[in-house]
Structure 1
Amino acid sequence: MSEAVWFPSEESSKKTRMYRFMQKLGFSDYDDFYKRSIEDVEWFWEEVVRDLDLQWIRPYDRVMDGSKGVPWTRWFPGGKFNVAQNALDRFVDDPQARHRLALIWEGDDGAVQKYTYRDLWAAVNRFAHGLKRLGVEPGDRVAIYLPMIAENVIAMLAAARIGAIFTPCFSGYGAEAVATRVRDCEAKVLITADGFLRRGKVVPMKEEADRAADLSPSVEKVVVVRRLGRDIPWNQERDVDWGDLTSEWKTVAPRETDASDPMMIIYTSGTTGRPKGTVHVHAGFPVKAVFDAAYGMDVGPGDILFWVTDMGWMMGPWMVFGALLSGSTMLVFEGTPDHPGPDRLWKIVENHGVTHLGISPTVVRALMRHGEEPVRRHDLSSLRVFGSTGEPWNPDPWHWLFEKVGGKKVPIYNYSGGTEISGGILGGNLLQPIAPCSFSGPLPGMDVEVYDENGKPVRGEVGELVIRQPWVGMTQGFWKDPERYERTYWNRWPDTWVHGDWVRVDEDGFWYITGRSDDTLKIAGKRLGPAEMESILVDHPAVLESAVVGVPDETKGEVAVCFVVLRPGHEPTEALHDELIDMVGRHMGKALRPKQIHFVAELPKTRNGKILRRVIKAAYLGQEAGDLSSLENPKAVDTIRSRQFS
């Protein structure tokens, strides 16, 4: 059980958009408001789009249509809605808003570009016209394989503006990973750059893009941004320079897309098989993203939202739509949080006046190594909210961020959902107290429960996170693979989305994610989320990070094996190994003591800091690890294979 450590003041609560929205609808109590939001989800989402003042080219006939079954619920049928118009045009049409900052870009080398809403609108129109000149039609797919530069955002909005469908690809992918996605969605155009900077070094992209295009018969043109001005191979028949394509000014009216027309296909890595292409629509993903940003995290005009992410991950497009549809500013960063010095992230916050900083526990753990001095060098008084997603917290980094960086004043808005959700299932709550590492509960409009293995609601014990009603933003299936979509999320209990997270609700009503349900250990009949054991391990002063997986055992069915990264200055010894095993046994009981602890230099992670336990387990057991294209550090897998279980 955790006790709350952050408490909202009455004054701060009343300033939030969530509070004002509740008041407008006649609610003074948040719990009553949440209850109503799931008792009548149609009423709720209609009130949301009204309050957001979204522009409809043609009004919708009704809020939702479930005639094809709950998994295939359509939202705002009959409505014509273009997300680019709602992200840009409605603000450009307002003299009070058109010169407001929409986008700040900072490069690895410290270069900065700024775009007002009108600047961004003009750039999007130029590129939209360029795409049309290339023959891109409504419904055509456009793959975006770009670094974190302004052109990434421009390309997304331009594609949506003309009714095309964009597919963002992680900037760190190799050619084969890009080609897998490009081939699956049959992209007509691939947008890339000559390269980008990472930790001061040039990372080539055009060469990988060429290989990906060669492997993808559907690609007709490769558009190239000259980020670095380096010499690159050039195919006169296929390659087009971004500068040439955007040299001609022409206003492009937003396409009159249906609310349920696909806008984006974003791929998630599967445990097995090819990546899943989640389909998102114009009045889906953007509406859910802006609700969570504007009402959940209180992002609005005058705020600067900076999420440390990549456009190939869901939180990249989420930041774009969450910022622009709320009339605020996004900050896009090409570099890494600790280059050229350990204070880089805090320097960005100070220089640009960041109000909302999205940061993962893994990044916090990395920055903790440098101590408090880099933090103290900078004025962080602009910060109002920390956002966090992607993995469960351990107490130590949570308290460090809350106490040392935020001075116990800035709430940590824990946020968890997924690519298929368009945002959050669970979140913090700026109107209620927050306990370390916890979620306040389900977000409004999300009818969420914790089920035991028999499909019965449980409290106080670990269970499956499920959603019992449809919501705005739910993926409209996997691209050209409806059966896989239904099989993945809807086949365990009738009309119930099973998300794959293992959660627990404590007696005070705080929610905790203990890991993916396919990461769950079952030791001597007891279910255990890996985060529970990992938190104990990282409490030891020698341990920086840990990952726990379950392996087969004749006696207990399964036993825990732990992989541990030590802090600088600590050496792996047999005494430390035994001490850590005993420490887990004291806290969790002898029956749950790990079978083995392996000391490693690093854990396999995605670039946005998520530890891939499924990869660790597969490598350790000598099994096929599935899609590894999102890995930042594939050599870590080889190290684990060398310790293989027998």
Structure 2
Amino acid sequence: MAEDFDVKMESKVYYPDPSIKETVRMGDYEAVYNEFIQDPQAYWEKVANELKWMQKWDKVMEWDHPYARWFVNSKLNITQNCLDRHVHNGKKNKVAIIWVGDGGEERVFTYRQLYREVMRCANGLKSMGVKKGDAVCIYMPLVPEQIILTLACARIGAIHSIVFAGFGTQALNSRIKDSNAKIVVTADATIRRGKRVELKAIVEEAVVNAPSVEKIVVLRRMTPPMELYSEMEVDYHEMLSDIPECGPEVMDAEDPLFILYTSGTTGPAKGIVHTCGGYMVGAYYSTRNVFDLRDNDVFWCTADPGWITGHSYIIYGPLLNGGTVLITESTPDYPDAGVWWSIIDEFDVTIFYTAPTAIRMFMRMGADWPNKYDLGSLRLLGSVGEPLNPEAFEWYYHVIGKERCPIVDTWWQTETGMHMITTMAGQPMKPGFIGKSLPGVVADVVDKNGVPVPAGTGGFLVIKEPWPSMMRTVHNNDERYRQYWTTIGKYYTAGDLAVKDDDGYIMILGRSDDVIIVAGHNIGSAEVESALVSNAAVAEAAVIGKPHPLKGEILKAFVILRVGYTPSEKLKSELIYHVRMSLGPIAMPSEIDFVDSLPKTRSGKIMRRVLRAKELGMDPGDVSTLED
């Protein structure tokens, strides 16, 4: 049982400069959270009133467990808030998007230019017969056209389904069929580490046995341009209309905005459905307040729009706030390990939001690379994707932030649509702890019966009340949606194990399906992994349970070493002893394998079930979200 966990709770506390607390929007966290708790619906109504609506709501929220309706009977179009209100309110010449290619090429779009391109694209889609409620599958590299197409779909009420361009034929085919996509939009290729990676060929195979697809739109980037088959394929630029205006489709707040597929531990990928009104409010609100986004910021989120992080914190959140977004097709280690730091230096990036996996990779490469560049423009750092272990926090804080930038570690999910738990800028930071509930959210740690557990005791992470950007269903599988709200009482069950300290800060211990029972003791894989990574020799680690006739399970660790360390039996013994001294003898790995890489999703989460399946000779299940 998760509540039996003994959790190592010691953590440093970093207190930010008092001036930060005085200048950020939510510097007085307690006062803001108390305002929310006193009247949650009034709190969210105040946020929603900061945005443009075609018709206001009759009621902020209706809750019929497990179904919610937010901003009931209101009408809107999210693109009016992403584009029109900025173009018409003095920001038309402000930079909206900065794009940096794999080879260093640059493209810039002001809000006026972005508006015009979205209108032309929207009219082009309409000319192909795309209408409100139709699904459009977007399978593209991270180029401005991907964002333009996403907003064009929202403009005309089409449901966009963005699929990460690293997925293969089978994964793409299953998503096209489940969403019943009418149009698939792709590019001839993407560029990765200076090499051309074909995309259209994957689409050609993926649309076989996908009868809903009527046309394939192709962005031809390469020279000479590839041949298109006129029976079904259309050039992206030829699709664009010359008409620079396209009126926004009137959308109900509960109309679907997009479907985004995410992989579970078993079964096919789940199509998470988000709706227009609540998602808009959540993305706007969390971007504005968690990142304290300001008019002069250059915001760089290193994710891809193929993931929820890219949806909320590349496209919708920053543009809803009239921000400047930097995107890049480049990888963090090509042409060298300084490329990302050079981008921050060159474009005066102020907010940098990346994954712990990337941070640990940079740790392996050493501080010399970032120290070559001027990172003085940075004022806030963020982390997303999986728990930010204390060692990575320390490196991020000292080497990249130079001990002056707050770190906002964030916990949330595809299903939640927005940040749920974080340490707000200006609040004390505790390495290893995510933080507290974002005002507007009621998160807690409970036992299997839904009873809150004492501080320092492990339990299950739940969200106790609905929030605007919550998913509305799982596409074609509403029963799967209901399971989120019925597994533990009437709470939303996140599937994560967590612990609270005496101050209410929450630490994520790992997925509940990553609990390992050794001799009757429950051990969270994430805690053992964090202990391993705290050793100077270890860059990354993953821990699984293996069946054992006496103990039930034993721990097996897969370890990536830092540069300068060599695998040896002596080092294995040292690491086992290190874990013993850190967590106690019950948490010691019985086996350690030194490896060069670990199976991960594109968002940076280690897929331990794949390691477990390989170790036990079992079927790993759905691996469509694997990075490689």
Q: Same fold (TM over 0.5)?
A: yes
Instruction: Report the TM-score when normalising by structure 2.
Output: 0.96
2:137 to 128, 143, 163: 143
Which residues in structure 2 correspond to 1:141-290 (within 5 Å)?
141-290=135-284
Equivalent residues of 1:307, 1:357 under 8 A apart: yes
> How much has 1:372 moved relative to structure 2?
1.7
2:58 to 55, 61, 80: 61
Partners of 1:254 and 1:6 in 2: how far apart?
47
Partners of 2:602 and 2:492 in 1: how far apart?
28
Equivalent residues of 1:462, 1:527 under 8 A apart: no
Higher alpha-carbon deviation: 7-16 or 149-158: 7-16
Q: Identify the residue that residue 40 of structure 1 maps to in structure 2.
A: 39
Which AA in structure 1 matches 2:478?
A: P
Partners of 1:139 and 1:48 in 2: how far apart?
27
Which AA in structure 1 matches 2:421?
A: L
Equivalent residues of 2:449, 2:488 under 8 A apart: no
> How much has 1:527 moved relative to structure 2?
2.5
Classify the secondary structure of the residue corresponding to 1:545.
Answer: strand
Classify the secondary structure of the residue corresponding to 1:34.
Answer: helix
Q: Identify the residue that residue 75 of structure 2 maps to in structure 1.
A: 80
Partners of 1:351 and 1:6 in 2: how far apart?
29
Partners of 1:480 and 1:506 in 2: how far apart?
40
Q: Identify the residue that residue 397 of structure 2 maps to in structure 1.
A: 402
Higher alpha-carbon deviation: 195-204 or 289-298: 289-298
1:92 to 59, 84, 87: 87
Deviations 1:372-422 (A, max 9, x none): 222122111111111111111222222111101111111111001100000
Equivalent residues of 1:103, 1:115 under 8 A apart: yes
> How much has 1:446 moved relative to structure 2?
0.8
Classify the secondary structure of the residue corresponding to 2:223.
Answer: coil
Which AA in structure 2 matches 1:8?
A: P
Which AA in structure 2 matches 1:180?
A: S
**Aligned positions, number:** 618
Instruction: Report the TM-score when normalising by structure 1.
Output: 0.93
Partners of 2:489 and 2:507 in 1: how far apart?
25
> How much has 1:233 moved relative to structure 2?
4.8
2:344 to 341, 349, 369: 349
Deviations 1:227-272 (A, max 9, x none): 2235535221111111111152241100011111101000001211
Which AA in structure 1 matches 2:468?
A: V
1:12 to 20, 23, 35: 20
Deviations 1:307-341 (A, max 9, x none): 11111111111121111011111111111012111
Equivalent residues of 2:16, 2:404 under 8 A apart: no
Which residues in structure 2 correspond to 1:255-334 (within 5 Å)?
255-319=249-313, 320-334=315-329
Which AA in structure 1 matches 2:20?
A: S
Equivalent residues of 1:2, 1:435 under 8 A apart: no
Q: Identify the residue that residue 584 of structure 2 maps to in structure 1.
A: 589
Deviations 1:122-154 (A, max 9, x none): 000000000000000100000000000000000
Partners of 2:201 and 2:14 in 1: how far apart?
49
Partners of 2:280 and 2:423 in 1: how far apart?
20
Partners of 1:314 and 1:616 in 2: how far apart?
25
Equivalent residues of 2:517, 2:553 under 8 A apart: yes
> How much has 1:348 moved relative to structure 2?
0.8
Classify the secondary structure of the residue corresponding to 1:13.
Answer: helix
Which AA in structure 2 matches 1:73?
A: A
> How much has 1:192 moved relative to structure 2?
0.2
Classify the secondary structure of the residue corresponding to 1:369.
Answer: helix
> How much has 1:291 moved relative to structure 2?
1.3
Bigger RCO (CA 8 Å, 6+ sep): 2
Partners of 1:145 and 1:234 in 2: how far apart?
17
1:461 to 457, 460, 464: 457
Q: Which structure 2 residue ranges, 5 or more long, are not aligned?
A: 1-8
Q: Identify the residue that residue 494 of structure 2 maps to in structure 1.
A: 499
2:364 to 361, 365, 369: 369
Tell me the C-alpha RMSD between the 2 structures: 1.5
Classify the secondary structure of the residue corresponding to 2:419.
Answer: strand
> How much has 1:522 moved relative to structure 2?
2.5
**In the alignment, structure 1 residue 549 sits paired with structure 2 residue 544:** yes
Partners of 1:107 and 1:447 in 2: how far apart?
41
Equivalent residues of 1:538, 1:545 under 8 A apart: yes
Partners of 1:7 and 1:587 in 2: how far apart?
25
Equivalent residues of 1:41, 1:471 under 8 A apart: no
Which 4+ stretches in 1 moved above 3 angstroms? 1-6, 229-233
Q: Identify the residue that residue 473 of structure 2 maps to in structure 1.
A: 477
Q: Identify the residue that residue 95 of structure 2 maps to in structure 1.
A: 101
Partners of 2:208 and 2:559 in 1: how far apart?
41
**In the alignment, structure 1 residue 599 sits paired with structure 2 residue 594:** yes
Q: Identify the residue that residue 531 of structure 1 maps to in structure 2.
A: 526
Deviations 1:410-453 (A, max 9, x none): 11110011000002221111131111132221111111110112
